[in-house]
Chain A
Amino acid sequence: MLFFSFFKTLVDQEVTVELKNDISITGTLKSVDQFLNLKLDNITCNNDTKYPHLIAVRNLFIRGSTVRYVHLKKESVDTNLLQDAARRGML
């Protein structure tokens, strides 16, 4: 649940989601759920040759199981807090 809560604090921030098929999608994080499915608004795709229709997409629901990385801005993560929470979760 820790990362679910963590992602909830990132709502309305700009994130880049890298999928397991190597494409990256940048957008404003709008929602996240228990499976870490992500909902993005105002998306741009860094290589839209593979899925050219993405330019016509307003908002995108990405299934958590297909995500490899989520790139975040440095200032949007309180690493100390996250570390504390992670350790408390281990106990």
Chain B
Amino acid sequence: MSQAQIQQPHHQQQPNKNVDALSQGVEDLYLESYAFTTAAGIVGSVDRKVFVLLRDGRNLFGILRTFDQYANLVLQDTIERIYLPNNRYAEADRGVFLIRGENVVMLGELDIDKEDTAIEEMVQMPFNEADKEWEALNAERIKLETQRAKKLLKVSGLTSDFVKSDLY
């Protein structure tokens, strides 16, 4: 067999082979890395009841409908819940939420058999009253933390990582 004969089929097959090898490789890469993406972390909770804690301290309960790689979320039939000291809580219907990912602290899938055990022993109060009380508590906290940060900086040159918008 001459070299030309050997080479000819080789040349013809090469492009096809290359495409196959490449696409195979890409697919493997995709599947391998998919397990460690934001999407893989959240995808299992889609169409389930979840709770989302936001950076401003709000607790939202709803059905997770969709999300993206930044953990931007869409919740349906959302309820906002406020917990207050002395076993009190309040709830308000909020409808559909599109949450920007940067405001998410955590997202948890709820066990619907157990989701109400936390509030069974609590007393429900009107939402607007609870909201006022909660705002007051937050204002108090901001005041205390700002004082503390100032003191830390003055006395020991340390900075506090408290941010006003982070009330979770």
Q: Which residues of A are at the interface with B, using a C-beta cutoff of 8 A?
A: 4, 8, 19-21, 30-35, 37, 39, 43, 50-63, 65-66, 68
Contacts and interface: CB of A to CB of B under 8 A. Distances in A.
Contacts, number: 95
Contact of A31 (B36, B59, B81, B117): B36
B105 A50 contact: no
A56 B114 contact: yes
The prevalent SS among residues of A at the interface is mixed
A20 to B, nearest CB: 6
A39 B166 contact: no
Contacts of A34: 36-38
Interface residues of B, number: 37
Given A19-B105, A19-B106, A34-B36, 17 more contacts: A8-B36, A32-B36, A33-B36, A34-B37, A53-B115, A53-B119, A55-B118, A56-B118, A58-B111, A59-B45, A60-B106, A61-B41, A63-B71, A63-B104, A65-B102, A66-B105, A68-B161
